[in-house]
């Protein structure tokens, strides 16, 4: 399998890399197993983590430029991603207490009990292209704090970003085998997951990829964390400032060209606000500046690839063919590059294919509802359950009532949900299982070992 990076704004082939041989995969697994058996001290790991954070900060423009060219993220957004990643590495480095023993009260024969967190061994991470640095940090930082080596298989289109992270890890003082990057094929990844030296696998990606990884992991009884797709609802029941709320909605739908699992994709709006919301949303979408991700002031770059753009436009066409209304955009922009006009679909119903799919690009679905009860029904009528957002300035109690009933792993009331190092991230239903970030991430691949002894 060859790894190929293509600039989605121009179609230029940036680099090609040969895939790993089976011998190289075996060497990586052996090195990871050796690293697990001779892991440096916690203080040494923390020092390396701080060095990685500092390297991200020192190279933020270069790193952001790499992903602008490899997957189309506007430079300012890329710098924001790099800064977030540095904060993730520092957050875990600052919190060795996350590994502290937990005392358990027991009346069993006068004995004392505690739960210790111990590493389990090498963890394989299968990473996507949409947040090339952030997704890796979510897995690597908590696991290196714990003492688990990580072996990263990145998206083939973002090999430049993957190799840049490997260089930072190599320069941090981490021993060989502690953090590795492999240019593996799908078949090689399946072999790695089934290898008894591998103690866990984390994937961020599509439902199809998640199902394939879970199947292999299940057969080998390998622990796994899956962060899959999302079709997050953005529920609007009332607002004191519609213009401000629409600005939030536009950012929530179009950041990273709409290619984020937690992007707001379904705007569920009270019928009394629906028409005004759609009008302002359309005006705001049309006003976005679209262009090269390397140009200053660009709001929207290209989609990550020609295939991604074609898939989104096909979904929009399917919805229109089934009776939906395309208010604006949702079509390819003529010329070079994988550019798509940001769009809005209305009149989407549960009988349409797109109602149950994820629109992984800058197209919003807007659905009117009569009341809070209908908003909950529409929001939950999805195979996904990642994030959700609720806005109701007039009735905070009603907003809380709605939030309590949403089938989602993360709910934000009164603001669009954001990712921060301290906040656990993950979903339910077909959005996957397990948590990354926050204290919970340390637990996913830990041996929570019970120890009892005389008091």
259 shares a domain with 390: yes
Assess contact for 207 and 430: CB atoms under 8 A. Answer: yes
Residue 425 lies in a domain: no
- 361 token code pair: 């690009």
Containing 182, the helix (H) or strand (E) segment is none
Spatial distance between the Cα atoms of 379 and 233, rounded to a whole number of angstroms = 6
**75-93 helix and 60-71 helix, angle to the nearest 10 degrees:** 120
Spatial distance between the Cα atoms of 423 and 138, rounded to a whole number of angstroms = 11
390 shares a domain with 443: no
Domain of 214 in residue numbering reads as 2-228+431-454
Spatial distance between the Cα atoms of 92 and 117, rounded to a whole number of angstroms = 15
Residue 424 lies in a domain: no
CATH of the domain at 88: 3.40.605.10
Residue 418 lies in a domain: no
Residue 270 lies in a domain: yes
Q: Which of 287, 281, 276, 282 has its CA nearest to residue 249?
A: 281
Spatial distance between the Cα atoms of 318 and 239, rounded to a whole number of angstroms = 32
Spatial distance between the Cα atoms of 365 and 332, rounded to a whole number of angstroms = 18
Assess contact for 366 and 276: CB atoms under 8 A. Answer: no
Q: Which of 60, 70, 81, 227 is catalytic?
A: 227
pLDDT level of residue 418 (50, 70, 90 thresholds): confident
400 shares a domain with 265: yes
398 shares a domain with 334: yes
Residue 342: how many CB atoms within 10 A of its CB? 26
Spatial distance between the Cα atoms of 275 and 94, rounded to a whole number of angstroms = 48
Residue 423 lies in a domain: no
Q: What is the pLDDT of residue 2?
A: 80
286 shares a domain with 367: yes
Residue 222 lies in a domain: yes
The model's pLDDT over 89-112, given as tens digits with 9 standing for 90+, comes to 999 999 999 999 999 999 999 999
Q: What is the pLDDT of residue 365?
A: 98
250 shares a domain with 223: no
Q: Which of 158, 224, 257, 261 is catalytic?
A: 261
199 shares a domain with 269: no
Number of domains observed in the structure of the chain: 2
The owner of tokens 């797109």 is 354
- Which residues does 411 contact at the CB level (< 8 Å), separation at least 6? 387, 388, 389, 390, 403, 417
Q: Which alpha helices (DSSP H) does 221-255 contain, by range?
A: 242-254
188 shares a domain with 67: yes
- Which residues does 207 contact at the CB level (< 8 Å), separation at least 6? 228, 229, 430
256 shares a domain with 154: no
Q: Which of 358, 365, 193 has its CA nearest to residue 269?
A: 365
107 shares a domain with 19: yes
Residue 257 falls in the annotated catalytic set: no
Spatial distance between the Cα atoms of 62 and 172, rounded to a whole number of angstroms = 18
Residue 36 lies in a domain: yes
Q: DSSP labels for 25-41?
A: HHHHHHHHHHHHHTPPP
User: C-alpha angle with apex 23: 19 to 29, nearest 5 degrees?
Assistant: 95
The model's pLDDT over 382-391, given as tens digits with 9 standing for 90+, comes to 999 999 999 9
278 shares a domain with 195: no
Residue 419 lies in a domain: no
Containing 146, the helix (H) or strand (E) segment is helix 134-146
The model's pLDDT over 165-223, given as tens digits with 9 standing for 90+, comes to 999 999 999 999 999 999 999 999 999 999 999 999 999 999 999 999 999 999 999 99
Label the pairing between strands 232-238 and 387-392.
Answer: parallel
- Which residues does 250 contact at the CB level (< 8 Å), separation at least 6? 281, 284, 285, 288
Q: What is the pLDDT of residue 247?
A: 98
Residue 227 falls in the annotated catalytic set: yes
Mean pLDDT, the chain, as a whole number?
97
Percent of the chain with pLDDT over 70: 100
The model's pLDDT over 229-274, given as tens digits with 9 standing for 90+, comes to 999 999 999 999 999 999 999 999 999 999 999 999 999 999 999 9
Q: What is the pLDDT of residue 321?
A: 98
For residue 434, pLDDT over 70 is answered with yes
pLDDT level of residue 1 (50, 70, 90 thresholds): low
What three-state secondary structure class fits 396?
helix
184 shares a domain with 83: yes
Structure letter (DSSP) for residue 174: P
Structure letter (DSSP) for residue 77: H
Structure letter (DSSP) for residue 18: P
């Amino acid at each position: 399998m060859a790894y190929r990076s293509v600039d989605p704004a121009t179609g230029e082939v940036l680099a090609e890399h040969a895939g790993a041989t089976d011998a190289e995969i075996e060497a990586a697994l052996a090195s990871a197993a050796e690293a697990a058996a001779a892991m440096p001290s916690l203080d040494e790991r923390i020092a390396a983590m701080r060095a990685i954070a500092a390297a991200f900060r020192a190279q933020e423009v270069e790193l952001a430029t790499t992903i602008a060219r490899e997957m189309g993220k506007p430079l300012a957004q890329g710098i924001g991603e790099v800064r977030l990643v540095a904060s993730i590495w520092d957050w875990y480095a600052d919190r060795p207490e996350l590994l502290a023993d937990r005392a358990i009260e027991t009346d069993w024969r006068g004995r004392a009990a505690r739960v210790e967190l111990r590493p389990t061994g090498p963890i394989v991470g299968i990473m996507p292209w949409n947040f090339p640095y952030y997704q890796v940090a979510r897995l690597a930082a908590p696991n290196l704090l714990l003492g688990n080596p990580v072996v990263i298989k990145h998206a083939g289109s973002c090999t430049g970003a993957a190799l840049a992270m490997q260089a930072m890890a190599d320069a941090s003082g981490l021993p060989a085998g502690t953090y590795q990057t492999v240019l593996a094929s799908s078949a090689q990844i399946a072999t790695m997951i089934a290898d008894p030296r591998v103690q866990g696998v984390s994937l961020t990606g599509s439902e199809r990829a998640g199902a394939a990884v879970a199947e292999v992991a299940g057969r080998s009884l390998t622990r796994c964390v899956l962060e899959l797709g999302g079709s997050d609802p953005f529920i609007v029941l009332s607002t004191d400032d519609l213009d401000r709320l629409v600005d939030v909605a536009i950012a929530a739908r179009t950041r990273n060209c709409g290619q984020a699992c937690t992007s707001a994709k379904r705007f569920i709006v009270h019928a009394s606000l629906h028409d005004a919301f759609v009008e302002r949303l359309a005006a705001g979408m049309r006003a976005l500046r679209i262009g090269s991700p390397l140009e200053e002031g660009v709001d929207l770059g290209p989609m990550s690839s020609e295939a991604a753009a074609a898939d989104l436009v096909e979904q929009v066409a399917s919805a229109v063919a089934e009776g939906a209304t395309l208010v604006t955009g949702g079509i390819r922009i003529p010329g070079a590059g994988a550019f798509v006009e940001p769009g809005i679909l209305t009149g989407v119903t549960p009988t349409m294919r797109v109602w149950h799919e994820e629109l992984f690009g800058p197209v919003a679905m807007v659905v009117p509802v009569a009341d809070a009860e209908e908003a909950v029904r529409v929001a939950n009528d999805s195979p996904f359950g990642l994030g959700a957002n609720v806005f109701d300035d007039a009735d905070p109690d009603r907003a809380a009532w709605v939030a309590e009933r949403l089938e989602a792993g993360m709910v934000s009331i009164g603001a669009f949900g954001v990712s921060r190092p301290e906040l656990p991230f993950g979903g339910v239903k077909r959005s996957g299982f397990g948590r990354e970030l926050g204290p919970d991430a340390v637990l996913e691949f830990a041996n929570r070992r019970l120890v009892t002894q005389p008091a």
